Structure 1
Amino acid sequence: MKKFLLFIAGLIALGILLANLGPMILLGVSVWLLYVVFKQFMKSDSTAGKIAWVVLGLIILSVAVSNIYAVIGLAAAYGLYLIYKSWTSKTEGSSKSFKSDDPFTNFEREWAELNK
């Protein structure tokens, strides 16, 4: 039952992620453009050039703020990562419980026992 609920939560998170993929891309592009505008602002020597870069930066900042819904998509991506991590940890747990008497295959376990 728990795997089924994880699957349903994963589908919901994937749907939210895909629905917010456009704003996530636009937010990334606008943040990159803000970085470029800042670098050009710092290179500019004239006052008119600096004013033009500030105006362009404010326009790009308004585009970035309008795509703030991309944060919901980022949260859905993180939730999808956590769901995937918890899904795979259950299957890996059975292989980790296998203990061998060979100290070379389980060196970390043997080293931890020696340090106790």
Structure 2
Amino acid sequence: MKKFGLLLAGGIAAIVLLSTIGPMLGLIVSAVLLYFIYKKFLKTESTGWKIGLAIIGGIVLIASLHNIPAIIGVAAAYVLYLVYKKWNSSKVIFEKEESDPFINFEKQWNELKK
């Protein structure tokens, strides 16, 4: 039942991640553009060019605000990572428990003590 829950959560997270790839790419592109505009803004000496860069930066900032759903995609990617990590850790625990004779011996010894 635990695996089914992990599979369901992973499937939903994968669908959400795939549906928000477009906004994620848009947010990345606009963030890179804002970075370069900011760097150019700091280097320029001309007041007119600074005003122009501020206007362009404002337009790019507004465009990046339209890509806010990308944050949901990042959260879905994180959930998918957690599901993957939990899925693999549960396999390792079960394999280790079955293959290690000392763990089984300790369990049986504790049962005999009771």
Give the gaps of 5 or more residues in structure 2: 102-114
- How far the C-alpha of 1:2 sits from its partner, in A, is 1.1
- How far the C-alpha of 1:95 sits from its partner, in A, is 4.7
- How far the C-alpha of 1:94 sits from its partner, in A, is 3.5
Matching residue of 1:42: 42
Matching residue of 2:106: none
Structure whose CA Rg is larger: 2
RMSD: 1.7
Matches within 5 A, 1:26-65: 26-65=26-65
The count of corresponding residues between Structure 1 and Structure 2 is 101
- How far the C-alpha of 1:79 sits from its partner, in A, is 0.5
Q: In the alignment, residue 50 of structure 2 is paired with which amino acid?
A: K
Matching residue of 1:11: 11
Matching residue of 1:113: none
Q: Percent identity?
A: 47
Distance 2:93 2:36 in 1: 47
Structure number with the higher helix fraction is 2
Q: Secondary structure at the match of 2:4?
A: helix
Matching residue of 1:106: none
- How far the C-alpha of 1:78 sits from its partner, in A, is 0.4
Q: Secondary structure at the match of 1:68?
A: coil
Q: Deviations over 1:41-84 (max 9, x none)?
A: 01111000000100010000001111000000000000000111
Matches within 5 A, 1:1-116: 1-97=1-97
Q: In the alignment, residue 23 of structure 1 is paired with which amino acid?
A: P
Distance 1:51 1:81 in 2: 43
Distance 2:82 2:94 in 1: 19
Matching residue of 1:112: none
Q: Does 27-36 or 87-96 show the bigger shift?
A: 87-96
TM-score norm. by structure 1 comes to 0.81
Give the gaps of 5 or more residues in structure 1: 101-116
Distance 1:15 1:63 in 2: 25
